[in-house]
Amino acid sequence: MTDRYAVFGNPVEQSKSPTIHAAFAAQTGQTMTYSKQLVALDGFSEAAEAFFAAGGKGLNITVPFKQEAYSFAARLTARARHAGAVNTLALQDDGTILGDNTDGVGMVQDLLENLGWQIRGKKVLVLGAGGAVRGVLEPLLEQLPQHVVIANRTIDKALQLAKGFAEMGYLLGCGFDMLEGQQFDLVINGTSASLAGEVPPLPNDLLTADGHCYDLMYAAQPTPFLVWARQHGARAVSDGLGMLVEQAAESFKLWRGVKPETKLVISELRDNLT
């Protein structure tokens, strides 16, 4: 019987996960199917239970179910526990469900391996304090940046997040209005402002001469944040399409025990976007 996998979300029609995992399966010679499933907003647990009861082997989880997947899992990886959210569920040999979060390691892999950027020793600014940011902080801090500042419209959320990860590195929280006079080597946009065609309120001199800017969002055209970055002297910019593929590769490795190559898949997705 062919092993079954899927992505759960609402909405989910736009998901590129089936295309990505089909490419991974073909590349690595794995026999499996991967589909996308629209799940009712109040029906995650029932849908997940039914999927695994019917022989499903693993799930990717997208918005708005990552916290529910966290609660659904019988066991959690350390990075999922710290993130407080799960984007990957995997059936284990003993019949239990393991929850993992591959978002942060996917972002770091994209930054270091695909883009050739550096994190170690760099001054890093992360914009936003929601679930997307929470999911990437631990892998980011593991790369030993000089420090990480979290800036958010609601300063209390930034401070709470900084406090929650304080044992992992030098981490500060602030409001956007407190960024004046500070400069950063790497700015990561984890807000949803790009979806509304907006950019967080940032000072014009935010970037160092070697400033790099990364948006967790991706689109066929540069996001508003990346347009801002180019206009304000960024040496290099990138959206999060590579992160999408890299986090999927981590999920695939967890399920199938083999790590696929990602660069060609990223390139093909990029071509299809444009």
Residue 199, domain CATH: 3.40.50.720
Q: Which residues are catalytic?
A: 66
- Verify that 192 and 67 share a domain, yes or no: no
- Verify that 88 and 14 share a domain, yes or no: yes
pLDDT of residue 9: 96
**What are the mean pLDDT values of the chain's consecutive 10-residue runs (274 residues total)?**
94 96 97 97 98 98 94 97 95 97 97 98 96 93 97 96 94 96 97 86 97 95 96 97 98 98 97 86
Q: Are 139 and 105 in contact (CB under 8 A)?
A: yes
- Verify that 108 and 224 share a domain, yes or no: yes
- Verify that 73 and 160 share a domain, yes or no: no
| Residue reference for tokens 């500042």 | 149
- Verify that 85 and 34 share a domain, yes or no: yes
- As a whole number of angstroms, the distance between CA 72 and CA 74 comes to 6
Query: What count of residues does the chain have?
Result: 274
- Verify that 126 and 225 share a domain, yes or no: yes
For the annotated binding site for shikimate, the residues are 15-17, 62, 87, 103, 218, 247
For the annotated binding site, the residues are 15-17, 62, 87, 103, 128-132, 152-157, 216, 218, 240, 247
- Verify that 211 and 228 share a domain, yes or no: yes
Where residue 19 sits, what CATH number does that domain have?
A: 3.40.50.10860
- Verify that 111 and 218 share a domain, yes or no: yes
Give the Cα-Cα-Cα angle 191, 195, 198 (nearest 5 degrees): 75
pLDDT of residue 116: 98
- Verify that 119 and 166 share a domain, yes or no: yes
Query: Residue 214 belongs to what domain range?
Result: 104-239
pLDDT of residue 34: 98
Please give the tally of structural domains in the chain. Answer: 2
Parallel, antiparallel, or unpaired: how do β-strands 184-189 and 123-127 relate? parallel
pLDDT of residue 160: 96
- Verify that 246 and 235 share a domain, yes or no: no
- Residue 97 β-bridge partners: 91
pLDDT of residue 131: 86
Tens of pLDDT, residues 195-217: 788 899 999 999 999 999 999 99
- Verify that 115 and 96 share a domain, yes or no: no
- As a whole number of angstroms, the distance between CA 44 and CA 41 comes to 7
- Verify that 13 and 136 share a domain, yes or no: no
For the annotated binding site for NADP(+), the residues are 128-132, 152-157, 216, 240
